[in-house]
Structure 1
């Protein structure tokens, strides 16, 4: 495991006793509160909900359009509004959890997620649905960073490695399961609810999670609470919004002037954020994203893999949802179930990853997973190229298995690498930075690869547009593989 010295002091000393959580007094013999199996299940349930809800709407967009008459621009806002609010508030959510208590923020976020899901399910028109989705994304951002923050602060050694591995597996599985569940629920049309059931199902799940979290999740926080960095928070929000909003809405709205103005402003806002954070750090304040945290080699190099991975995968899932239903004429439930081999493969390979890490090292396992995903992607490309449109769920299953197995080896191990040297008092901020990077990349994938695919549908046709989108995804996978060669060795 790598050590990184910062300002003359190591952020994490090998063998050092982790500082106590809430209620501790900083004594060397203090220990963090333990996270039991039921508590781990509860926080992993909280980790699954936000990503499931990011992808679950993909298979329901056409049904929402038919019912509410939303139109392309508002439909994309249903997806983008959630993703944008989720991405821009994640780091703030991590900071608030470190300061006020991670269980408190987890419970508040989970309760808000259930209420906003209810609002989505009862939305009478498209604009109410968009507003409710934005609020739902904000709730998810308050809840999500507390998951890894709690794991990091209340586990050690092998138990922490196992818990982080399960978190990564949950993330990978949720990205695929969301579309499967969405297809099944839309097709089931429970009590005539149609698309609304994809949101209403969250309400009883959130209620059960609330009861469990109050009894099983330990309350942890940073032993040195720090104030919120208001300028940094506002600049990060503005920078991400200026990038993601026009890319998501530009195609549907015909690329009006405001989209180009925001895109042109985004790099300047990002630069301003970096300078404000550096200045805050020099003046002895606590920036939203501490520059010294980004000097950790494991975190910095691990984070570099998340943008190409997320952009590629976010775009892939969006494109597949359209191609399977509109191109191959599958029903919503069949299109969802077609991804079941993908999900099962992700689930199984996530358990093989930790065993492989002990033998070959984390960096090699991630690289092998990326190589396997690339091979599966090439097979998927050839399958669509040669057999389109005479394909069914069984014909796609072998390639989905290979792609899923490769992905399942990547995420759990990659998260383990990113957080390996993060000190526990920075757990919320570290996980917020990681999840913001991941979520922003997923949203960018829908905005870029998804928009490219939709733009080519008319002039090129479904198959050729799909092949271009798959080629772009494969390029992102290849870039991820190149970057993985620089990953540190973490056991």
Structure 2
């Protein structure tokens, strides 16, 4: 069974002889609920590795002698190749089968994690992280595609909400478990353990995936769109690279040229994709997805939510470790209440999303907005006396709100997508989310560092963090407002 097919073409072609019915056509895939935790483990690994390097930055600086530019690339290089390759990864799953691409991507991700763990120089680690991001981009879209294709509509929203739970928990775990792993210094590995931990996880996951993932042969002819495959990542790179490196490089002219050039580059790519679809080809980006108002509005909510939450997480790490002087383990413990609030809210949201749908997004965004307001009040009132204990209250509210919103968001956006478009929709959604996360960290991080200037104690970090709180408040209010226009469940 293919997850996509040429518009109109496949429907008009009759096979010479009857073919065996795909497994999904005879009823829901019997092992779907056993399969779900296995494929979600892949999402967890990819998300964990996106954020664990935040708490490992001091260890990399001392243990690997990585300079500031190298640290930026170690963190952002993964995010860039991951975000820019997701659409292509989704398309490959449509063409060659989600099972095959998932297994291949998981093997490659595990090997790339090993290369990260044994790197001897900053340059080697940067290169390995770029490869790790690309392999993650092949693996992750198949998770959403498999959920969409194997779960019947009555169960799909619940399964998709578990994906949303995993996205957030993986990010929070990167902060909490990452600090614990570094503090434990397992087998004297130091920073290397945060990458090498993927080896046993990846091997176990592969063993189960090989037995539990459905075998479906794609019926569409494998035909990748080369110009689209190049145009999409190049357009994203033109925007992300200057955002990531602009601050440390002093915003030279090339960064502004690159940012401006990203707009026509993406416009030309979209024009090519539309023309290719009209000619009966197989474009990388299925632009018909954007005709679905729930999908388009859901992307806007996703971008606002992910940019606000994950830039908050990134800068909070800096405040806790560099501003308040906490160790990675102490910072991890400080994140624990946020993590518990996010996880508990995600579990609750997962159970009731099918009933309340996008209302959970609005409710979650509203709670997160209250959290940002409380954060601003605490920072303004505390100033030089800001402490980790005083930040826990707003952290819990922000984690609680996002824990309610993120699972419902994924389910609301993808629940109505046809199985034939699952890979394409998953690629676009995950690209939007990861691009928003990376761009939010880079752009809002630049505002944070600009406001910080030359730090003079806790007060400087508190003042700079106020800017992050203010921007985060605006973004969650936008998410809440747009979520009101998403489809509501029938009473």
TM-score of the aligned structures, taking structure 1 as reference length: 0.91
Offset of residue 32 of structure 1: 5.0
Give the corresponding residue for 2:485: 486
In the superposition, relative to structure 1, how do residues 357 and 114 fare at CA in structure 2: closer, same or farther (>3 Å)? closer
Give 1:318-337 correspondences, 5 Å limit: 318-337=314-333
Offset of residue 377 of structure 1: 1.6
Distance in 2 (alpha carbons) for counterparts of 1:405 and 1:196: 32
Give the corresponding residue for 1:277: 273
SS at match of 2:282: coil
- Asked if 1:160 is matched to 2:156, the reply is yes
Larger deviation: 30-39 or 293-302?
30-39
**Cα deviation code 1:36-95 (max 9, x no counterpart):** 333111001011111111110001112111222221111111111101100111011111
Give the corresponding residue for 1:473: 472
Give 1:21-170 correspondences, 5 Å limit: 25=21, 30-170=26-166
Distance in 2 (alpha carbons) for counterparts of 1:404 and 1:27: 40
Distance in 2 (alpha carbons) for counterparts of 1:34 and 1:66: 51
In the superposition, relative to structure 1, how do residues 225 and 488 fare at CA in structure 2: closer, same or farther (>3 Å)? farther
Distance in 2 (alpha carbons) for counterparts of 1:485 and 1:222: 38
SS at match of 2:161: helix
- Asked if 1:286 is matched to 2:282, the reply is yes
Larger deviation: 153-162 or 134-143?
153-162
Q: Is the 8 A contact 1:24 1:30 kept in 2?
A: no
- Asked if 1:366 is matched to 2:365, the reply is no
In the superposition, relative to structure 1, how do residues 465 and 216 fare at CA in structure 2: closer, same or farther (>3 Å)? same
In the superposition, relative to structure 1, how do residues 24 and 299 fare at CA in structure 2: closer, same or farther (>3 Å)? farther
Give the corresponding residue for 2:194: 198
**Cα deviation code 1:162-221 (max 9, x no counterpart):** 211111111111121111111111111122211111111111111111111111222346
Q: Is the 8 A contact 2:112 2:129 kept in 1?
A: yes
Distance in 1 (alpha carbons) for counterparts of 2:422 and 2:216: 10
Distance in 1 (alpha carbons) for counterparts of 2:109 and 2:97: 18
- Asked if 1:227 is matched to 2:223, the reply is yes
* Aligned counterpart in structure 1 of residue 391 of structure 2, from 390, 396, 408: 396
**Cα deviation code 1:240-265 (max 9, x no counterpart):** 00000111011112223332221121
In the superposition, relative to structure 1, how do residues 217 and 325 fare at CA in structure 2: closer, same or farther (>3 Å)? same
Offset of residue 396 of structure 1: 3.1
In the superposition, relative to structure 1, how do residues 298 and 226 fare at CA in structure 2: closer, same or farther (>3 Å)? farther
Q: Is the 8 A contact 1:172 1:411 kept in 2?
A: yes
Give the corresponding residue for 2:431: 436
Distance in 1 (alpha carbons) for counterparts of 2:71 and 2:293: 40
Larger deviation: 130-139 or 310-319?
310-319
TM-score of the aligned structures, taking structure 2 as reference length: 0.91
Larger deviation: 396-405 or 259-268?
396-405
Distance in 1 (alpha carbons) for counterparts of 2:270 and 2:299: 16
Offset of residue 470 of structure 1: 1.5
